[in-house]
Structure 1
Amino acid sequence: MKKSILLIFSFLILTACSSVKRGQQALNKGNYTEAIAIAVEKLQKDKDKKANQEHILILEDAFKKHTEATKKRISFLKKAGNPTSSREIYRLYQGLQQVQQQISPLLPLNLYSKNREAKFKFADYSEDIIAARNDYADFLYEESRGLMQKNDKMAFRQAHQKLSELDRLYPNYKDTEQLLEKSHFYGTDFVFVELKNETPLVIPQRLEQELLDFNTYGLDDFWTEYHASMSSDHKYDFAVNLNFREIVVSPERVLEREIPLEAEVLESSYYKKDRKGEFVLDSLGNKIKIENFKTVKGVLYKTIQTKTLALQGEVDYIDLHQDRLLNSYPLGTEFIFENVFASFKGDERLLNKEDKLLLQNRFVPFPTTEQMLVDASEELKGRLGPILKRNRLR
């Protein structure tokens, strides 16, 4: 028991020494915020603990040096007068305020060996933060407007990113909301999707609707919109053409087969008896059983209805600004209609479970080509979806 207590005590001492060492190393390297964070974490647990006196000294020193270094950096950036520094100045003032907020709940911190309280010279940075935020907001606003004036799609996207940051920093700043909508609209790629049928067959409207419903493909993209019908309000950048090149439909086939069945089946059975009417036993003492088998025959008339449809085409990606083909990917599917049923003549003991199920089936009308095309839509969408996901426009 004593040994366990000694080990725990030794571990606590080593841990405390380790954290002091890490804090001192961070302070010596100029990583003042790290040194402050280490000290604050330890002091939050027990600020009056004797082992934490070193952390108070590190915190006092780190706070003073952090404040001095930050103010020097702010002064330099203000003198340089570069508008791009507005973000850094704002963040630096925030950092000064945040460090004070970390330390404030711990005060007062007593240094017993020096018979004094640790000194922290706090300041009110609220006005500085507001002024820096306003400067940063002005910078983001002007930067965004400058990018939007380039009338370039990628510049509009950069502007939207800056305006989004501005909206988080300063909600309802000037006309930011309207500029966000405008930059998103002009930064978006509008894609016209069209199904082109080059086959002699008519494509069912339902199939076309299913394939052109791009909401079902999971192509969520903030900067891309797919339209199945062209709108005069949009200038289209790309086109995705679903070209049907060939549709091959087989004849309606009916295959009939006669399958002769023959087997030995148990007709009857009984236990053998002797003249006295007693059961005859074998060498193991079991009753001897006599079984009579009979050969039975029958014919299973199996009918198979089949009709197939094969569709071949490709997906073309076209740059409408340059009127050129970017890429082309094959797209195809096959749909097979099959119905199997049967009739039977003979002893039904010949039939297995599968045969009996076939006897329950009946002849059904063959599907039309239009029906088969509609039925193939899910398979076709399953092949089209991965093509669209793998091949984004930008």
Structure 2
Amino acid sequence: MKKPSWKPLLSVAAILLYSLFLSCKSGEKLYNKGRYDQAVVAFVKKLQRKPQDATATRMLPDAYKQAQLAREDRVNEYLRSNNQLKWEAVRNEYKALQSLYNSIHNSPAALKLVQPKDYRDAITGAQENAAEMRYDRGMSLLNRGDKASARQAYEEFSAALKLIPGYRDTKQKRDEAYQLGVINVVVSEIEVRSPYFQFSADQFRDYLVRNLQQRNINQFVQFYDERIARSENLRPDEYIELRFFDFVVGQTYVDRTEREVSKEIIVGTSKDTSGKEINIYKTVKATLYITKKTVVSKGLLDYRITNTTNGQVLRTDRIPGSYTWLNQFGTFRGDERALSDEDKLLIGGRDMPPPPPTDLFMEFTRPIYDVLARDLQSFYSGNNL
């Protein structure tokens, strides 16, 4: 019978001992660098694995004391400051101390060496003071009655609710701040010079408004179709005026060209004087008659964003767009063998009618739409409110 090998067990034991040694050295290094919180955690972990460890037993009490002194000193500094948001910083210090309390309480060996302080009440008190300060700041901003202040008030009330969910009537006040701070942007109906294209222009506008709404560019900006706003008696804060002008739809150009082509082809073989076989070539020719038909649609869109309260123009621009529909076809006269593969494709084409004018209108407005949507997203996601 083969005797069991103790080498693997010895290797595992050696690894564990080395790991404990490193843990202890790590805790000591952290302590010497003044990183007392981390040193406490390292020593507690060491005691969980080796409850009688001499270094951890000796150094843990002082590491905890130093961590406690450092954090409480910072708490006192914050309390002496005039920073209105100091209670949030105080709460963070207490939470860090409570984390050390929890870490020590999870280790019986560590708890025999240190009686940590429970900071739960201190955290609660700091959170209440912090929430009260955020609430008071929010009310002060809300009472100013302007949109910019209302949006700041919304953020203050949100911060208070994050500290203490359900704090007083904060949610109600936050909703009130939002309603006051929101910017209602109405996108105008688009006038075009030809009634024939009015439906296409309306489609352009409808898709734009729908897209802006779905993108949720800014939580304080709501976009409306002018017809909807009118039916709901909504008073716009800003007005986006859109106008297509100087546009041409379906302007047709026809270009006819004639081109001679030739190619050398092998028509047989023969033998030279030495008896070697050689190819016999012949030049074949053809004439190509190509018709190239292009239908061009292009135009400009003017847009202007206006503050309806004071009439101030906030942004204005002109965006060009174009679309060219192309169709090529042709015939040939002569030897088909002279044609290249590209030539044959042209010969295979046929004269086709262009798309309807309304489709051409939508095609040339597509690049305009892309630029306009990017412009508006950039404008309303920035600091222009």
User: Alignment RMSD, CA only?
Assistant: 4.0
AA of the residue aligned to 1:215: L
Name the TM-score, length of structure 2 as normaliser. 0.76
**1:83-139 deviation per Cα after TM superposition (whole angstroms, max 9, x unaligned):** 8655455445434422211222233249xxxxxx52x23444444544444444344
Does the 8 A contact of 2:253 with 2:295 survive in 1? yes
Partner of 2:205 in structure 1? 208
Whether contact under 8 Å (2:46, 2:53) holds in the other structure is: no
AA at the equivalent of 1:287:
K
CA-to-partner distance for each residue in 1:207-226, whole Å, 9 max, x for gaps?
Answer: 33334443389562222222
Q: Deviations over 1:355-384 (max 9, x none)?
A: 211122211123343221111232222322
1:23 is aligned to 2:28: no
Deviation, 1:49, is: 5.9
Name the amino acid aligned to 1:187. Answer: G
Q: Distance in 2 between matches of 1:288 and 1:76?
A: 103
Aligned residue for 1:305?
293
| Pairing 1:103–2:104 present | yes
Corresponding residue number in structure 1 for 2:10: none
8 A Cα contact 2:26 2:42, kept in partner: no
Task: Read off the aligned partner of 1:23 and give its amino acid letter.
Answer: Y
The reply to whether residue 391 of structure 1 matches residue 379 of structure 2 is yes
Does 2:314 match 1:326? yes
2:131 to 137, 143, 146: 137
- Separation in 1 of the partners of 2:81 and 2:333? 103
Aligned to 1:3: none
Q: Distance in 2 between matches of 1:253 and 1:96?
A: 80
Q: In structure 2, what is the equivalent of residue 228 of structure 1?
A: 225
Q: Percent sequence identity over matched residues?
A: 21
TM-score of the pair, normalised by structure 1: 0.75
Does 2:62 match 1:61?
A: yes
Match of 1:288 in 2: 277
Cα 1:136–1:257 change in 2 (3 A) is closer
Q: For each residue in 1:165-218, what CA deviation from the matched residue of structure 2 results, as whole angstroms up to 9, or x when unmatched?
A: 222232233433333333223222222222544645734233333344433895
Q: Where does structure 1 lack aligned partners over 5 or more consecutive residues?
A: 1-8, 27-33, 111-116, 273-279
> How many matched pairs?
360
Q: Equivalent of 1:361, from 328, 345, 349?
A: 349
Q: Is the 8 A contact 1:243 1:313 kept in 2?
A: yes
Amino acid at match of 1:306: T
More helix by share: 2
For residues 92 and 164 of structure 1, what CA distance do their matches in structure 2 show?
Answer: 22
Which residue pairs with 1:181 in the alignment?
A: 175
CA distance change for structure 1 residues 383 and 90 in 2, over 3 Å: closer, same or farther?
A: closer
Give the direction of change, closer, same or farther, for the CA distance of 1:48–1:195 in structure 2 (3 Å limit).
same
Structure 2 CA distance for partners of 1:136 and 1:383, relative to 1, 3 Å: closer
Shift of the 194–336 alpha-carbon distance from structure 1 to 2, 3 Å rule, reads same
CA-CA distance at 1:10 after TM superposition: 11
Residues 44-85 of structure 1, C-alpha deviation per residue, up to 9 Å, x if partnerless? 145676996445444312433554676688789999999865
Counterpart for residue 11 of structure 2:
none
Whole-angstrom distance in 1 between the partners of 2:294 and 2:324: 7
Please tell me whether Structure 1 or Structure 2 has the larger radius of gyration of its CA atoms: 1
What's the secondary structure of 1:220's corresponding residue? coil
1:265–1:81 CA distance, 2 compared to 1 (3 A): closer
Q: What amino acid does structure 2 have at the position aligned with 1:240?
A: I
* Greater mean alpha carbon deviation, residues 128-137 or residues 179-188: 128-137
The residue correspondences of 1:72-111 to structure 2 (distance < 5 A) are 86-88=87-89, 90-109=91-110
Deviations 1:251-285 (A, max 9, x none): 4222222333444443x31444xxxxxxx773xxx
CA distance in 2, matches of 1:72, 1:269: 103
**Residues 242-321 of structure 1: pairs in structure 2 closer than 5 A:** 242-249=242-249, 251-266=251-266, 268-272=267-271, 282=274, 287-289=276-278, 291=280, 293=282, 295-321=283-309
CA contact (8 A) 2:247 2:297 kept: yes
- Any stretches of 5+ residues in structure 2 without a counterpart? 1-16
Question: Which amino acid in the other structure matches residue 151 of structure 1?
Answer: G
Matches within 5 A, 1:190-209: 190-194=184-188, 196-197=190-191, 199=193, 202-203=197-198, 204=200, 205-209=202-206
Structure 1: which amino acid aligns with 2:277? I
Distance 1:76 1:331 in 2: 57
Q: Which residue of 2 aligns with 1:152?
A: 146
Q: Is the partner of 2:106 in helix, strand or coil?
A: helix
Q: Which of these residues, 376, 381, 388, is aligned with residue 369 of structure 2?
A: 381
- Assess if the C-alpha contact under 8 Å between 1:194 and 1:212 holds in 2: no
2-structure distance, mates of 1:82, 1:248: 63
In the TM superposition, what is the alpha-carbon distance from 1:39 to its structure 2 partner? 3.1
Equivalence for 1:4? none
SS at match of 1:361: coil
- Conserved? CA contact 2:44–2:104, under 8 Å: no
